[in-house]
Amino acid sequence: MMSTKFTRTALFISSFKRVPCLSDNSLRRNLSNTSSRWAEVGFIGLGNMGSRMAANLLSKGHKVTVFDVNSMAINTALKQGATNASSPAEIASKLKTIVTMLPASQHVTEVYNGQAAKICNNMLLAIEMIGVSEAMNLGMKLGLEPKLLLEIINMASGQCWTSKVYSPVPGTMENVPSARQYSGGFGTALMSKDLGLAMDAASQVKAPTPLGSLANNLYKLMVNSGFAPKDFSSVFQFIQGAAKNK
């Protein structure tokens, strides 16, 4: 399990791997790397070292989001072109690469918890979306009218956020991506990325995720089949197409 005892610096990468207590020179070599990994970076802690490193990235054209309890440090970073986050958890929810420069463990724990909660939630959301899509497709194949079927589900024990708020079936709900050919919303490629992170994390802590693994494989297949830019609820459309090809 990840330790929350950080006496100096911790570098978080998207796969939840941690490189603790890097030397100043080692950190500078990493931060001078112009690869896409550093295109968008979150900085938590803008002390003497953190503020210089953030300024260095900004001067090279990278996008940097910052958080610090010191408002003066934040204002300086904003003048240099940084974006301000309201909390460490906000940075963790939006960025894959995060550098923490903190004297204590509290903020590190908040960042880790925020990122861990995000991938757990999105794994569940993907599984839920697939389940609703399968059930709706089956009911429609059995001759049920989709709006009526959705109403019945939402009055029964199968109801969930997806069925009540974010229906994947065109014509059953207004103001959702399925009502506009799956445009907007949360992209399939982004869901696939988060599922990959969830599987990496599950592997590291040896947590069984049989349904998460199936969801991960399905969304990977969708990305490779041209669904990447569509909302993740387009899994219903993908399942329908797979059924037609049988």
Tens digits of per-residue pLDDT, 90-123? 888 788 788 887 665 566 666 677 788 999 999 9
Mean pLDDT for the chain? 83
Give percent of the chain above pLDDT 90: 57
Nearest of 98, 54, 109 to residue 77 by alpha carbon: 54
What's at 222, amino acid-wise?
Answer: M
In terms of Cα–Cα distance, which of 117, 75, 73 is closest to 92? 117
Per-residue pLDDT tens, the chain, 246 aa: give them.
Answer: 333 333 333 333 333 333 333 344 555 555 555 455 557 888 888 888 888 889 988 998 889 999 988 889 999 999 999 999 988 878 887 887 888 876 655 666 666 777 889 999 999 999 999 999 999 999 999 999 999 999 999 999 999 999 999 999 999 999 999 999 999 999 999 999 999 999 999 998 999 999 999 999 999 999 999 999 999 999 999 999 865 655
pTM for this one? 0.65
The catalytic residue positions are: 118
Distances (CA, A) of 38 to 62, 87, 112, 138: 7, 20, 19, 45
d(CA 210, CA 63): 37
CA dist list (Å): 39 to 14, 31, 55, 205, 210: 13, 10, 14, 29, 33
